Structure 1
Amino acid sequence: MATLHIEVVSAEASIYSGEATFVALPGESGDLGILPGHTPLISRIRPGTLKIKHGDGTEENIFVAGGILEVQPNSVTVLSDTAIRAADLDEAKAVKARERAEEALRNTKDKADMAVVEAELAMLAAQAAAARKFSHKRASH
């Protein structure tokens, strides 16, 4: 079975390095599915879930807060400021952080600050949604 090498790197650490048969993630212009032999591509990615399918059929999910994707025929590299394995996501923390960001948005008048906080809110909303999704999957197994 053909595979491709995938590297997921955040600002803090290397989150994942290994082989996969399929990778899916939220590209800037829509969801992307990548198989071995994919045409080279560089794209921005949106906050959301990166899915890595292994040769044995198991799947690994990683939340990414946006970033850059590079695809070569036999490799995928994802660079993200924040990347968190699904098992480590904490919905309560994400919701609390989103509430703090919403409060900051209500209290700011500067347009540049508003844009930064709005981007953070979008990332935190995606993180909370991913945490909720994966906590339900863990509970049902």
Structure 2
Amino acid sequence: MADMMQFDLVSPERRLASVEAREVQIPGADGDMTAMPDHVPTITTLRPGVLKVAHAGGTDEYVVSGGFAEISGDGVTVLAEEALPRGELNQDMFDRMIQGLRDRHAKAKDAYVNEPGPVDEAAKLLADMVAVGSEMGLSSN
């Protein structure tokens, strides 16, 4: 069993990370998961949350708003809708992320009047991001 694997995190704006990692904690849409070297191949969607990467130099944390993670036996690639290092998240950025999710929820309510599934999913994404902000001491006015 290998003790390290390749980890890459990419958002539409930039590549945030490319390191050899021991483990990656992923905020999956169906529940949190930890990927380690030789993990069974998996593709999962992300929910808003904090993605943690343990590597030789310590642990890095990134706030993600959604996207996909592809786990293979030798690495993890995350394609995030929006991502930034946890230390870069400030109130203005958080407000922008929350507003985007509120807009998404409002559109779902308009488009799916008698179909609660998509509306509930949008509400869950918003609630997850509010929880991330609360954990970091940010307000979701």
TM-score, length-scaled by structure 2? 0.73
Gaps of 5+ in 1: 137-141
Mean CA deviation greater in 87-96 or 67-76: 87-96
Which structure carries more helix by proportion? 1
Quick one: which amino acid aligns to residue 18 of structure 1?
V
What residue number does 2:78 align with?
A: 78
Matches within 5 A, 1:83-94: 83-94=83-94
What residue number does 2:66 align with?
A: 66
Quick one: which amino acid aligns to residue 15 of structure 2?
S
Gaps of 5+ in 2: none
Partner Cα separation in structure 1 for residue 103 and residue 67 of structure 2: 26
Quick one: which amino acid aligns to residue 44 of structure 2?
S
Contact (CA 8 Å) 2:105, 2:123: kept in 1 or not? no
What residue number does 2:44 align with?
A: 43
Q: Deviations over 1:78-121 (max 9, x none)?
A: 00110111011013442366368658977x97325xx9998777
What residue number does 2:135 align with?
A: 133
Partner Cα separation in structure 1 for residue 39 and residue 101 of structure 2: 38
Rate the CA distance shift 1:94–1:121 in 2: closer, same or farther, 3 A. Answer: farther
SS in 2 for 1:110: helix
How high is the sequence identity, in percent, across the aligned residues? 28
What residue number does 2:10 align with?
A: 9
Quick one: which amino acid aligns to residue 39 of structure 2?
H
SS in 1 for 2:98: helix
Contact (CA 8 Å) 2:48, 2:66: kept in 1 or not? yes
Quick one: which amino acid aligns to residue 66 of structure 2?
G
Rate the CA distance shift 1:23–1:87 in 2: closer, same or farther, 3 A. Answer: same
Count of aligned positions: 135
Partner Cα separation in structure 2 for residue 38 and residue 84 of structure 1: 25
Partner Cα separation in structure 1 for residue 92 and residue 66 of structure 2: 21
Contact (CA 8 Å) 2:102, 2:126: kept in 1 or not? no
